[in-house]
Amino acid sequence: MMKSKASLAAHLIPLCQPSSTAAPRARLIFCAFALLSFAAPSVLAQQPQPITARTPATPLVAHDPYFSIWSFNDNLYDGPTRHWTGTPQQLDGFIRIDGKTFRFMGDDRIAPPIPQISRAIWPTRTIYDFEGSGVHLTATFFTPCLPQDLDVLSRPLTYLTWSVRSTDGQSHFVQLYFDASANLAVDNDQEPVVWGTSRVGDLTVMHMGTTSQQVLAKAGDNLRIDWGWADVAVPSQPGMQTATIGWRERNHDVSTGTIADSDDLNMPRAPRLDLPLMVVRFDLGQVAATPVTRQVMLAYDDIESIEFLHRQLTGYWRRNGMTFAQMLEAAEHQESSLLARSVTFDRNIVTDLTNAGGPHYAQLAVLAYRQTLAANKLVADIDDTPLLFSKENFSNGCIDTVDVTYPTAPFFLLFNPKLLEAQLRPVMEYAGLPRWPWPFAPHDLGTYPLANGQVYGGGEQSEQDQMPVEESGNMLILFNAIAHAEGNANFAGQYWPLLTRWAEYLRANGLDPKNQLSTDDFAGHLAHNANLSLKAILALGSYAQMAKMLGKNDVYSDYHHTAQRMADQWMRMAADGDHTRLAFNLPGTWSQKYNLVWNSILGLDLFPPSLAQSEVRFYLTHQNKFGLPLDYRKTYTKLDWSVWTATLADNQKDFAALIDPLYLYMTESPTRVPLSDWFDTVTGAQVGFQARSVVGGVYIKMLSDPALWKKWVAASGN
């Protein structure tokens, strides 16, 4: 007879106690999830909810621009797992129940799928559930990406956990198979790889990498890492067996329920010839109603991560001399505590997101969470100072682009302003060098992963195709936002001469910008850009605020009056009846004035509240099915800017009216890639860009509530 949920829960609870004789790893992992699944519906209804709706893609293993694996399908078994660029990087999973094999991950057709019945996305976890042949399987991808803990955040490691239980009151003989392919360690499948296995404490560690190992030898956009080592680390568990074999041998083994007794030693070998795989099999024996859990850790040792001004830097977690083996051991020992912290973090942030903007807003922000972090790399400078470098994914591959940092910044301003400092510090070091000749801020530091100097536009050679007002305004606003988050302008004080230089440039050139590019450079050059002018004015107000914090009262008075005078002029120049113009010289036009959001968030109060209110009223009459166009010229929009614009609303009804089409885009877009921030508001199709960090801009709504912002900054220790 099948037990009730209540009786099963009663059976599980003793196993979760410290005195339980169950294996610690199995006990701690399944208890965190299994007990929740037995909770009464009335209890679950009161809990913060993960994303269960369809998304364009699902994050599985998301760490940095090179180690970022996604499912582009609704079901985990409908296609291969892929790098964010779309190139297959196979992770395969099979379950063998009473002698019959089913697949639960990957699209290898040697076995039929076991039906997927649910998928849930939390900020730090993705959880799939499958059920068939009398067995329930839960597959969890857990990445403890906690922004307050930089050592843990920078670890390139994800826990993969499988929990199996019977659902029909019978016992079933179950085996689990998992493999990770050599494609994780190559840019293309013609690069030869080698492999090996070692022991680290009680861990069996399989690793694969290219024969050439050309560390930091390439820079570009649509590239995958081809140096370092992909690792599968397997803690000692009952019924465990590991091997490194080819794809053909694996298929035979999976079909027969066996696994090779020894590694394939036919190496080096290009993946296209017979894809090398790191394989783990678990014999679970007879599985009844009590869940049986197994786990592996998937990690990547990139050796050197970033080249900054020709010095090669390693991941931040290495800064005290920690080896990769030591990192694996630490990750194994800390797993249970990290899981507990992450579950609490997930529930707290989802609750606050929902309270701040509603469930649709919360789900959009949850999907943006890991993507934001995975488009960045956290490293240690030669003096151990944290430095954070973004990659401009599927745009031009630039590294540490200022107008990518600007829209991403709300994420870091909320969770840990020190991470935004870590992103701005390399820009300031570069801009302070004699080789940067311009009186305005740089656009970028190079092409990822080489941050050796600007490559965009005219670079260090010409002002042509630069973004002088854009980047200078971005930097001043971001420094002021950090000052507000931290309660002081000490960070700005370190770079005051440079900030002053850029403020002087904006005072002379910001009110009515000449023909130039803005962050929306895909729209082309534009003169008299009203939204760009807004940014310059708010940046000057920001400079004034920071001067006041630093006790520079004369500077404050001068620049505050300048900013207010320019704001008054802007109101007259941009006015166009019930809205404002795209450009001062173009009546009958309009555009999203997303930069205006800082006027209230930073307490600048340079523009009257009525401006935001009238703009929102106008925008609500110009939306398409999937959102508000960026301006009147095209039907495309930007996800980040659209949420900034929605945050201008002074009531929840109008905010929701601008957010709901974006949620519809997330759930119905025909383009199956990691969340694109540039899409068409009529069709919902991607126009360009994907997997970029700028989706972190959706967190700006959280900054509009001073108490909420303060709460999360305080949690980071700032």
Which pLDDT score, from 0 to 100, does residue 44 have?
37
Which pLDDT score, from 0 to 100, does residue 2 have?
35
Which pLDDT score, from 0 to 100, does residue 262 have?
85
Which pLDDT score, from 0 to 100, does residue 47 have?
78
Residue 72 CB neighbour total at 10 angstroms: 19
Contact 422, 388 (CB under 8 A): yes
Contact 160, 283 (CB under 8 A): no
Is beta strand 450-451 parallel, antiparallel or unpaired with respect to 306-308? parallel
Which pLDDT score, from 0 to 100, does residue 158 have?
98
Q: 610: helix, coil or strand?
A: helix
Which pLDDT score, from 0 to 100, does residue 298 have?
98
Query: Please, which residues bridge with residue 116 across strands?
Result: 130
Instruction: Express each pLDDT in 26-82 by its tens digit.
Output: 444 445 444 444 443 333 345 789 989 999 999 999 999 999 999 999 999 999 999
Which pLDDT score, from 0 to 100, does residue 15 have?
43
Q: What is the CATH number of domain 53-303?
A: 2.70.98.40
- 3-state SS track over 84-99: CCCCECCEEEEEEECC
Residue 371 CB neighbour total at 10 angstroms: 25
Q: 557: helix, coil or strand?
A: helix
Residue 286 CB neighbour total at 10 angstroms: 11
Which pLDDT score, from 0 to 100, does residue 46 have?
53
CATH 2.70.98.40 maps onto the chain at 53-303
Q: Which positions of the chain have pLDDT values less than 50?
A: 1-30, 32-45
Contact 278, 180 (CB under 8 A): yes
CA atoms within 13 A on the CB side of 596: 26
On the 0-12 / 13-18 / 19+ scale of CB atoms within 10 A, 317 is: buried
Segment (H or E) for 37? helix 24-37
The CA–CA distances, whole Å, from 482 to 326, 475, 621 equal 34, 11, 35
Q: Alpha helices of 136-292 — where are they, by DSSP H?
A: 150-153, 247-256
312 CB-near residues (< 8 Å, 6+ apart): 215, 216, 304, 306
